[in-house]
Structure 1
Amino acid sequence: MNSLQLILTKLRYFGPAWVFASLNIIVGTWVLYIPQVRSKLAIDDAQLGIALFCFALGTLVMIPLSSLIIDRIGVGKTTFFAIVVFSLLFLIPLLMPTYLTLCISLFLVGLSGCLTDISMNALVSDIEQEDTIHIMSASHGFFSLGGVIGAGIGSLIIDYFEVPIMHMLCAVIFVILTNLIIFKAYFDIKGSASKKKKESYDLSLIRPLLGLTIIAFLIMGSEGAIEHWSKLYLQDVIKVTSEKISGFGFVAFSATMTLGRFLGDAISKRFGSLAIIVGGCVLSILGFSAVLASQLVISIFGFGLVGLGFSVIIPELFRLAGKTNGISAAQGISFVAGFGYLGFLLSPPLLGFLSKIDSLQLSFIALLVATSIAMIITFFLKKKEA
């Protein structure tokens, strides 16, 4: 719990961690309204998958630009401006009257979301190295906490909002105001990217980062899929009709991910990154098996178990990428995140098409297989390290 204590007692650490939470407060609120957006525009799962593909496409376009922006204006300034723009842009998708405009708006949101994600991770990585501390996992815990706030509290109050945009507007105002209070704690941090010799963003980086990039591709793809499809899974496969209850899958996923990430830094220091990535994959495989049982309580428990397993994987991948020799934190993280976002890019339409072929149950079987492959690759990396 030492990392959590550090974050809660020093604004220099809490400021960046709250950006993590802010990002997922907005996304968690959006997730609640995905079924309504689908119904409003009269689209099927495959079309919804393509719309989510546009969101991820925006992230992919921003990846090669993110380290350049961070290097030019500094990691602290980039982090603050990116979260503000991201929050404001996410008001647009809920207002779009046509499928085409929905896709365009999600692409724009994806651009700012990617920049926020990479800059905040680079910010924490730089602070870790400057202060010789471990707060990456706990910072990702705040990301998951944001999901609990956005989707969890949002599920409880959703009936009080007659139109989705009012709910989202409240979330946006809350996020921007809270960040305005604390942003000065990290705003002037330049980051390692501005101190090191500029390196080209090219495929020569794939050799030292190969294993990490493949795991990120599989796990971030699965994580994004759960975020966008868990509520529809409970509605379409388990036949849950309540708007509140159908959001509990993602709430359970976010809650256990929060817990795991708050504990993750201490576990990482004791067992090492690769060991806990293997353990996380094992827990997630068991969780997906429970989800596929298609019984309400067991499936919600399964989502929670997957969240606990996933909680430690991405923070450790980013930690390892940020410490790779000869590569700046911003560049290492952006490269690994790039492959992760590529997985995120492919998973929404893939799950949509698999759902159209059979059902969302087939889609979640694919996520089970992806997690199993990630575990096997980690075994090879651990053997190589030994």
Structure 2
Amino acid sequence: MILSNRNYFAPSWVFSSVNILIGTWILYIPHIKMKFALDDSQVGFALFFTAIGLLISIPFVPYLNKKLGVGRSTQIGILVLAVLFNLPLLAANYISLCGSLLLTGILSGFTSTSMNSLVSIIENRNNNNFMSAAHGFFSLGGFLGAGIGSFLILQFSNPSYHMLLMSSLVIVTNLFLSKNYSAIKEAPQSEHQEKTNIFKNINPVFGLSIIAFIIFFNEGAVEHWSNLFLFDMVQVTESQAGYGFVIFSLTMTLGRFLGDGVSRRLGSIKTMGAGLIIAAMAYLLILTADLFISVLGFGVLGLGISVIIPELFRMAGRSKQLSTSVAISVVSGIGFLGFLVGPVLLGFISNWSSLMMSYVFLLLLIITAFALVVFRLRSKYSASKTEITE
């Protein structure tokens, strides 16, 4: 359905495009680490500027979406983001690296919020859900970026040439496809949809938001640190270091495209519970620090957590206290903050203790998410209800 209809494929390709850029960038984090002779804490601190950029962007996204239109915002966001992702690999020193990551973070937050809002608006207008599939395209983008990149990395003497090639691909394809959504705008607000402080909107979906934060935290950590885990802990070559993220992205993609069918059979709570159990088992495999078993573990992890975020969005959309768009915006916003904070915190944990301990911490977060599903959400939600009230 998505591949044959540009009205759905075009916004879904934005999701892929964002992660193509990220997937290509993460391949070169070991290169950046060696180039500037950084320790793990310094790498984490540099990545923290991406999170700061996201926080800076949050207050301005609703205004820009209203001013430009959510479709135009998405179009501008992905095109500018593709340009900015070239800057970190061109950085001449550590300060310019941090500055370039700050700019990348600002546009990442703007683009991600805009594209999720765009999909939500299209869903509501057409009464046709494809949010889960759109996130499947996000995972597909990571597989394309890191998977193809693992082969291309050997073909480029200069990493910036590789990034320039991928960013050019993103720019050209999105210029062609964006005409299918660039004119879409949000519907005018009704009187009862008054502007409220985002913190007042958290309480009805607080449990969902915390779980989203944890899952996105894990996704961001794996994207930025899986290659360093294999490089440092398993001691593989630089070209092999991307294997973990490649298989993680592949199984994440497959899980999200198949997740709707699983959810229909098991329901949201059981689907998330099963996924988190699988994810916990995956970390036990990863922590063996054996190349084959650890890479297998990353694959199992992608399969386990692939279904969580789409289910959280589905449940958020059933909130009685909030409209679907507001509930999803809050959950996705807090979740994406975890995506950016995760790599930073893991860097500090790794520098304080070890990279192995960082992955133990990720396992503990998965166990925490499972406890929230079992003890908080299960009592608030059942398959027979049409909404969730926390």
TM-score band, normalised by shorter chain: over 0.9
Match of 1:381 in 2: 377
1:115 aligns with 2:113: no
Return the alpha-carbon distance in structure 2 between the equivalents of residues 173 and 194 of structure 1: 37
Return the alpha-carbon distance in structure 1 between the equivalents of residues 329 and 290 of structure 2: 39
Return the alpha-carbon distance in structure 2 between the equivalents of residues 277 and 124 of structure 1: 22
Return the alpha-carbon distance in structure 2 between the equivalents of residues 332 and 76 of structure 1: 20
Match of 1:233 in 2: 229
- Residue 326 of structure 1, CA deviation: 5.4
- Residue range with higher mean Cα deviation, 345-354 or 49-58: 345-354
Instruction: Tell me the alpha carbon deviations over residues 332-364 of structure 1, each in whole angstroms, 9 at most, x when there is no partner.
Output: 333222322332343223211221233211000
1:368 aligns with 2:369: no
Which stretches in structure 2 are left out of the alignment for 5+ residues?
383-390
Q: Is the 8 A contact 2:204 2:322 kept in 1?
A: no
Which stretches in structure 1 are left out of the alignment for 5+ residues?
1-5
Q: Is the 8 A contact 1:144 1:254 kept in 2?
A: yes
| Number of aligned residue pairs | 380
1:105 aligns with 2:100: yes
- Residue 323 of structure 1, CA deviation: 4.9
1:7-156 equivalences under 5 Å are 7-156=2-151
Return the alpha-carbon distance in structure 1 between the equivalents of residues 266 and 58 of structure 2: 31
- Residue 173 of structure 1, CA deviation: 0.6
Return the alpha-carbon distance in structure 2 between the equivalents of residues 329 and 385 of structure 1: 16
Return the alpha-carbon distance in structure 1 between the equivalents of residues 125 and 288 of structure 2: 47
TM-score, normalised via structure 2 length? 0.93
Return the alpha-carbon distance in structure 2 between the equivalents of residues 225 and 88 of structure 1: 24
What SS does structure 2 have at the residue aligned with 1:107? helix
Return the alpha-carbon distance in structure 2 between the equivalents of residues 192 and 267 of structure 1: 33
Instruction: Tell me the alpha carbon deviations over residues 128-152 of structure 1, each in whole angstroms, 9 at most, x when there is no partner.
Output: 2222222111111111111111100
Return the alpha-carbon distance in structure 1 between the equivalents of residues 326 and 96 of structure 2: 33
1:308 aligns with 2:303: yes
1:179-198 equivalences under 5 Å are 179-192=174-187, 197-198=193-194
Return the alpha-carbon distance in structure 1 between the equivalents of residues 99 and 319 of structure 2: 36
TM-score, normalised via structure 1 length? 0.94
What SS does structure 1 have at the residue aligned with 2:202? helix
Residues 1:193 and 1:145: Cα distance change in structure 2 (over 3 Å): farther
- Residue range with higher mean Cα deviation, 122-131 or 214-223: 122-131
- Residue range with higher mean Cα deviation, 98-107 or 268-277: 268-277
Q: Is the 8 A contact 1:19 1:83 kept in 2?
A: yes
Residues 1:322 and 1:76: Cα distance change in structure 2 (over 3 Å): farther
> Letter of the aligned partner of 2:226 in structure 1?
S
Residues 1:319 and 1:81: Cα distance change in structure 2 (over 3 Å): farther
Match of 1:202 in 2: 198
- Residue 272 of structure 1, CA deviation: 3.1
Return the alpha-carbon distance in structure 1 between the equivalents of residues 121 and 315 of structure 2: 13
> Letter of the aligned partner of 1:30 in structure 2?
W
2:271 to 276, 285, 305: 276
1:237-252 equivalences under 5 Å are 237-240=233-236, 242-252=237-247
RMSD: 1.7
2:253 to 254, 258, 278: 258
Return the alpha-carbon distance in structure 1 between the equivalents of residues 372 and 62 of structure 2: 27
Q: Is the 8 A contact 1:193 1:328 kept in 2?
A: no
1:289 to 271, 284, 289: 284
Match of 1:3 in 2: none
Residues 1:125 and 1:268: Cα distance change in structure 2 (over 3 Å): farther
Instruction: Tell me the alpha carbon deviations over residues 268-312 of structure 1, each in whole angstroms, 9 at most, x when there is no partner.
Output: 344333332222211111111110111111100100111111211
Instruction: Tell me the alpha carbon deviations over residues 182-201 of structure 1, each in whole angstroms, 9 at most, x when there is no partner.
Output: 11111111135756734223
> Letter of the aligned partner of 1:132 in structure 2?
N
Identity across the alignment (%): 47
Instruction: Tell me the alpha carbon deviations over residues 85-120 of structure 1, each in whole angstroms, 9 at most, x when there is no partner.
Output: 111111111111111111111011011111111111
Match of 2:219 in 1: 223
